[in-house]
Structure 1
Amino acid sequence: MFAAVSLGAKGMSLGTVWTAVVQYDPGLTTHQIIHELRLPRVIGAAAIGGAFAVAGALMQGVTRNPLADAGVLGINAGATLVVALSFAFMPNIPYSGLMALSFLGAVLSTLLIFALGAAAPGGLTPLRLTVAGAVVAAMLHSLSSGVAIYYNLSQDLAFWYAGGVSGVKWMHLKLLVPIILLTIAGASLLGKSISLVSLGEEAASNLGVRTQRVRWMAITAAVILAGISVSAVGAIGFVGLVIPHIARKLVGVDYRRIIPTSALLGAVLLVLADLCARMVNPPKELAIGVMVALVGVPFFLYLARQEGRSL
């Protein structure tokens, strides 16, 4: 995070960064750049990276689907559609209202995905959940594009499609960070139960776990994390897909360790992705979603191939 704050179109020493943090002088231009632009951006990237990663870990654990992720399953698409509608019909909506509506969109898309997946004969399976998510995501993205074109919002929504943390300010962090930290803490308390659910519903039930209750609590936490993250930085995909797999390789299959490890690794990934997006062609920036996709797409194809072999 200190490297991300110090590097950019205008390079600064770590000493300058430290002084700006502990002894902020609003009269110095370097301190203003650090305090008003780079610090909230980097803190936002860390918080939201952790949120996306934990959301993915929760979805993978309770659905027993290694391809589950808020982006892949279409949850982000629901939040993005509501953001597009908000821009069209409520252009002056406050940030807190936008977050609430984004969360509502994520909830509705989640319910639709699970309803479609469970409607087929044989009930909900990991493969059907992935297919339902892909279908719903395609539909919602099409609707978002239609709203953007009809109401001339293409330029405004370009940020949300590509994703980026450049617009994160201190006023956003005051609302975002407490919600993200409290939700991740609550999800960590479910770690033992999610570990048992990930072994199979019958085994978990025999051990006294209320599987349906745990599943819906975990999905609710994932939807909160994904919904508020999309409202802040747009629909950045693949963080929740890649990071939980790396966490499992490092700490094993116990979700009491996977959840906090995913939060840390997700924060690292998004901070690095944002730094790379700023450093590729300064002072211009690439979309952070592009940098994450360079890692996420090959990893998704690899997982899909492994999953196809297991089927």
Structure 2
Amino acid sequence: MAQRTATAPPEEATARAPRRGLLRGAVGRSLGLWLLLLLVLAVCALSITVGTRPIGLGTVWQALTDAATPGDETVIIRELRVPRTLLGVLAGLALGVSGALMQGHTRNPLGDPGLLGVTAGAAFAVVLSISVLGLSTPSGYVWFAFAGALLGSVAVFAIGSGRGGATPVSLALAGTALSALLFALVSSITISSADTLDAYRFWIVGALAGRDASVATQVAPFIVVGLLLALLNAPALNLLNLGEDVARGLGQRIWVARSVGLGAITLLTGAATAACGPIAFVGLVVPHVARAVTGPDHRWLVPYSGLLGIVFLLLADVLGRVIARPGELQVGIVLAVAGTPFFIALIRRRRLVTL
């Protein structure tokens, strides 16, 4: 008599099926990575040449290679657009990678780098530095923002680590609660001080403009260390996604993997937020796009997310300069307007957001 085999419902079978990206195999993914690097270089060139005052590539090359070249274009390129582009590269790289790590560690497709209280801690520190110390420039309060980001993430980790240790759910809940508290304190301070509100709203909108080269120099070492930790954490994150029991059985120390991942997220998000303010949607949307290309393997997902983060952030910055001439829209506003419909389209395709 023929045996009857039970079949899983289509939804369950889909959830259990391995999710593969558009690029398969090491060769295809490596080629895609090189093409993405070329796209990053093209977007960087676009960021330097396009703006409220268009400048040709020949003039750009001459200004970059010959510091003695006279003219306003040389000043614009060397003192404004190059530092701005460099900061966009660092921030996009940091936010894209930290978003991929955050979604992997929390198993939350809506996970954002600010979920661990990093953004709220940085915002609270910036408001205090403005209201108490009178600082008003990004180069002045960047260190306070970074310190606030670090303290915020440490507080979330301490609150979320109960008797059973930190778990993705407890960390997300602790981050949500602490963020609500800190932003309430921020609101109480800015409401009572008009001067603080004026300086704070320039930071909170999220922007690459108005930052000189010193800001990028200050945060670059932390981003480099965070990227190294992220690359070291990627193989362990693949094991964690199989389940903690399986990962433990394969010799993975869960607390070490979690600590390294949280350290990378804190350094990357804290540095980017301190330099540019909170920039939404890069860390949320970019990992989904990268996952659609590479699949769930974090050894490829992490570098793809970083490079796509650069592309998304710089393109949004260029778009903000073009559509509002002779002024410009800050990159945080552009990403909020353009990112919302894009993310709605993503979440309607269930396969892209299933982790």
Counterpart residue number, 1:287: 330
CA deviation after TM superposition for structure 1 residue 104, in Å: 2.9
Which residues of structure 1 form unaligned runs of 5+? none
CA deviation after TM superposition for structure 1 residue 70, in Å: 1.7
Counterpart residue number, 1:148: 190
State the Cα deviation string for residues 82-123 of structure 1 (Å, max 9, x = none). Answer: 111111112349977744432332233334445555669998
CA contact under 8 A between 1:37 and 1:169: conserved in structure 2?
yes
1:243 aligns with 2:249: no
Counterpart residue number, 1:231: 274
CA contact under 8 A between 2:135 and 2:141: conserved in structure 1?
no
Counterpart residue number, 1:63: 106
Count of aligned pairs: 309
User: What's the TM-score once normalised by structure 1's chain length?
Assistant: 0.88
Tell me how large the CA RMSD over aligned residues is.
Answer: 2.9
- Against the structure 1 CA distance between its residues 162 and 248, is the aligned structure 2 distance closer, same or farther, given a 3 Å change threshold? same
Amino acid at match of 1:273: A
Whole-Å Cα distance in 2 between the matches of residues 38 and 145 of structure 1?
33
Counterpart residue number, 1:162: 205
Equivalent residue for 1:276, pick from 299, 316, 319: 319
CA deviation after TM superposition for structure 1 residue 278, in Å: 1.0
Whole-Å Cα distance in 2 between the matches of residues 58 and 112 of structure 1?
19
1:19 aligns with 2:80: no
Counterpart residue number, 1:198: 241
State the Cα deviation string for residues 254-282 of structure 1 (Å, max 9, x = none). Answer: 21211111111101111011111111111
Deviates more, 1:89-98 or 1:219-228: 89-98
- Against the structure 1 CA distance between its residues 96 and 169, is the aligned structure 2 distance closer, same or farther, given a 3 Å change threshold? closer
- Against the structure 1 CA distance between its residues 51 and 77, is the aligned structure 2 distance closer, same or farther, given a 3 Å change threshold? same
Whole-Å Cα distance in 2 between the matches of residues 159 and 305 of structure 1?
36
Amino acid at match of 1:87: I
Whole-Å Cα distance in 1 between the matches of residues 90 and 200 of structure 2?
22
Which residues of structure 2 form unaligned runs of 5+? 1-43
CA deviation after TM superposition for structure 1 residue 218, in Å: 1.0
Matched residue SS, 1:256: helix
Equivalent residue for 2:180, pick from 129, 138, 142: 138
Counterpart residue number, 1:29: 72
User: What's the TM-score once normalised by structure 2's chain length?
Assistant: 0.78
Amino acid at match of 2:183: H
Alignment of 1:206-221 (within 5 A): 206-221=249-264
Whole-Å Cα distance in 2 between the matches of residues 62 and 148 of structure 1?
34
CA deviation after TM superposition for structure 1 residue 64, in Å: 1.9
Q: Choose 1 or 2 for highest CA Rg.
A: 2
Equivalent residue for 2:150, pick from 87, 90, 107: 107
Matched residue SS, 1:21: helix
